[in-house]
Amino acid sequence: MASKKNLVIVESPTKVKAIKKFLGGGYEVAASNGHVRDLPKSRLGIDTDHDYEPQYITIRGKGDLLAALRKQAAKADHIYLATDPDREGEAISWHLITALKLDAHPEKCSRITFNEITKGAVKESLKHARSIDMHLVDAQQARRVLDRVVGYRISPLLWEKIKRGLSAGRVQSVALRIICDREDEIAAFIPKEYWTLDVSLAVAGEKKPLVARYWGDESGKKEIESKAQLDAIVKDLSGASYHIEEIRTTERTKKPPLPFTTSTLQQQASSALNFSTQKTMRVAQQLYEGIDIKGEGTVGLITYLRTDSTRISDEAANAASAYIDKQYGSKYVGSAEQTTEKKERIQDAHEAIRPTDVTRTPSAVKDSLTREQFRLYQLIWKRFVASRMASARYETTAVHIAAGRHIFHVSATRTVFDGFMNVYTDEDNVPEKNVLMKGITKETGLAFDAFEEKQHFTTPPPHFTEAALVHDLEALGIGRPSTYAPTISTILARHYITKENRNLYVTELGEAVNKLMKDNFPDIVDVHFTATMEQQLDDVAEGDVPWKQLIEKFYPSLDAAVAQAEKVLEKVTIADEETDVICEHCGRHMVIKYGPHGKFLACPGFPECRNTMPYYEKIGVACPKCGQDVVIRKTRKGRRYYGCIGNPDCDFMVWQKPSKIRCEKCGGVMLEKGGKLVCMDENCGFTCDRPDNDDE
């Protein structure tokens, strides 16, 4: 009897070799190279008059590949569709059935999924072959159609009114809005003065002084808000004696971190390794798909990288506990109940991101990995091992020192048991590390030595980094694990935002796009609306809502908003505004156009005349240093600032817009901060309301 022939189709060619090795004879393995069918690029591709039916076509360039797959499928007794274990992978398998003309023989096709590319996982998946999960497919179709109608209906307005080649997106527009809102918050922030007062005390029998910080008085904790308030406290303390009023020692525990999800991996790789979200996903994909390890062949080093679950399998948990017991001792083995984070909705039946074999240590595979692969694998391995270890315990000693009616405070922390921190630490789980002198008691004698007074100012909210943006997108329910990296990459590529020293800044182009979206499509850029839409997509995946019902509710309001925006914007021209600057090549009046980083001057005679010039937008304020015009300028990467128009010797430069109004107190430059004007000199600190006509 002839042996049965099986065909396994995966997404990536990288997986083919490893999976073929695991399955051996009787199995052919081929790759689809991702999607094989999609909506056409040249048109909307959705029949809005007939039940919003998507009009899928074969992706250009995939014809030969599909022809080869059809031949292989025709020879096979059974076809296993082994695309990635998520909505996107489910949809690719569904499209493959149509593209390979397998609809007529459903008994020949099965869907299999595995969370890791290891021999055990791949062989086990064959025992659980199933049919296509149409709920997952429909959730992907709904997301694809929603994204398509938003992009194809709104983007042409951006092309017409701002610049060709721009795009609007359902998730990217909200991400841009979030960044713009933060920039507005930073621009409007007014620093608030406060002071700290430290006292240095000589301790009987000790060489080093004890330094304590002012805490408050007998009525409670107090902030020192001004120099006058501080001077009054110092005056009140004149001649006071200092004594230890209370020493309190407490022991606390620090729980181990949970294993990585997609978003926490992106955040930690950004903080610890300075990886962009895109780079993190690219390198993680390599580790998942398989690395040629010396002595082992090609093997997947980590589990599937797109997940928001912190669950791990019992087998992996037991292997980790055994490894920890052997390497570190039984006291380092964590308890079983510390495993997962409780979330309202965990996407997909995935595990957290973890090593496929905990005994495959980073040092053991280092020689087989690139530097980037090693660093990311080490981060994942350490985080996973730490997640299965015992909690750390540390002891905190707080000392309250009384002087008259005033109280000073000093504390220190000592690690009692390092637990998981033996393997893994980050800025979130390192306890404070002050050291108190040994033997200090309530009877310890103290003598005043000196005060140290310091002025401080509150700081604005930080600019978003990629890690912080991913954190907020996840917390707000915007997007899903697979969308964070491409969303950020898109708005960077469109030059809506720029990145400098890890921070994300909005460009002039991004501000123009965000304003148009907020004014004309408030729902699209509304955080709550978008988060609700994500929940409804999850409902589709659960089988609770038919996918076309979502589109039926959404599309008519979008269609109406586009029609209204076209009317409103009909007479609005953002680009191609004529100026009084004459082209030195052909004598035409130069016009304002938008480039990747904002406005520039271009000759309207293009393509005959290709002359361009920088566009310096005057703000009607004279430079306080040299008297020339202050204009809006851009950094090399497109971040906006205000500087002098043309004097090379003048170094005046500020990030906030200067006002014509000068400071009443010191005569200095006033900066616009929301509805206020604030003196540029922090030592002056004068603030006043901004007049309504200050922009005129």
Q: Radius of gyration over alpha carbons of the chain, in Å?
A: 31
Tokens 């692969």, located at residue: 373
Question: 5: closest CA among 73, 71, 66?
Answer: 73
| C-alpha dist (Å) from residue 432 to 116, 271, 426, 428 | 39, 19, 13, 11
> Distance between CA atoms of 339 and 387, rounded to whole angstroms?
7
User: Which among 474, 511, 472 is positioned nearest to 491, based on CA atoms?
Assistant: 511
Q: Cβ contacts of residue 174 below 8 Å, gap of 6+?
A: 478, 524, 525, 526, 527, 530
Query: Is 304 a known active-site residue?
Result: yes
Give the dihedral sign, CA 613/617/620/622. Answer: negative
Phi, psi (deg, nearest 5) at residue 58:
-70, 135
Give the CA-trace dihedral at 567, 571, 576, 581, to 10 degrees: -170
| Residue 51 CB neighbours (<10 A) | 10
The residue written with tokens 């009616």 in the block is 405
514: its two tokens: 């965000």
Beta bridge partners of 193: 457
Q: How far apart are CA 400 and CA 404, in angstroms?
A: 13
First to last CA, the chain: 91
CA distance 591 to 612: 9
Among 690, 526, 542, smallest CA distance to 170 is for 526
Rounded Cα distance, 411 and 252, in Å: 14
With H, G, I as helix, E, B as strand and everything else as coil, classify residue 92: helix
396 CB-contact burial (10 Å; exposed 0-12 / middle 13-18 / buried 19+): middle
**Structural element, H or E, at residue 643:** strand 640-644
| Helix ranges (DSSP H) in 626-693 | none
CA-wise closest residue to 133 among 466, 542, 513: 542
Question: What is the strand order of the sheet 6-10 is part of?
Answer: 27-31, 6-10, 78-81, 109-111
Point out the catalytic residue in the list 52, 214, 288, 304: 304
* Structure token digits, residue 55: 């009009």
Residue closest to 681 by CA, chosen among 632, 613, 624: 624
Q: Taking CA 289 as the corner, what is the angle to CA 287 and CA 290, rounded to the nearest 5 degrees? A: 70
| Cα 631 to Cα 617: distance, rounded to the nearest angstrom | 5
Name the DSSP class of 18. H
Q: Is it true that the peptide bond before 54 is cis, omega within 30 degrees of 0? A: no
Q: Are 454 and 196 in contact (CB under 8 A)?
A: yes
Handedness of CA 326, 331, 335, 341 (dihedral sign): negative
Query: Which residues have a catalytic role annotated?
Result: 304
